[in-house]
Amino acid sequence: MTDKPQNPFEAMMQQAQEMAKALNPALEQFSSKDAFKEFEALWPTMPKEMMDMLFGNAINKDGLDAKTRLLLTLAGLTMQGAQADTALRQTVRHALEAGAKKQEIVETIGLMSGFAGIPAMNRALELAREVMDHKGDDET
């Protein structure tokens, strides 16, 4: 067999890994799969007050609060088959910060099983669990 990538995306990723190794030999073990989680960790969690101001009821007093908007976003991401790992994990992280309980997150994802299917629900729960386990046992 040849080391030649099978598709353009694989070729691009292989070229990126070679460039990373040339710039920094320590990046030889660089894994694009793990890189997304590492980059994701660099994005800070917005404080609840900022989320309420940007997404919540600070501008629209009778509108949805940030927690509700984030739970709806989580439902939508689950409906899409939970394919956007980073977006789903960040939404869970921000929902927790906005005051969502872990049980509310699990119920939101579970409710989508009837519409998106069991595989999408399981994938979303797996991604959400990564965030909730990392967050700790502060509130269940």
User: Do the domain assignments include residue 21?
Assistant: no
Model pLDDT, residue 126: 94
User: Do the domain assignments include residue 11?
Assistant: no
Residue 30 has pLDDT above 80, yes or no: no
- Domain of 74, in residue numbers: 41-135
pLDDT tens column, 61-120: 777 888 998 999 999 999 988 888 888 999 999 999 999 999 999 999 999 999 989 999
Question: CATH no. for residue 92?
Answer: 1.20.1290.10
As for how many domains the chain has, the answer is 1
Model pLDDT, residue 75: 95
Q: Over pLDDT 90: what percentage of the chain?
A: 34
Q: Name residues whose C-beta falls within 8 Å of residue 11's C-beta, 6 or more positions apart in sequence.
A: 5
Verdict on whether the full-model pTM lies above 0.85 = no
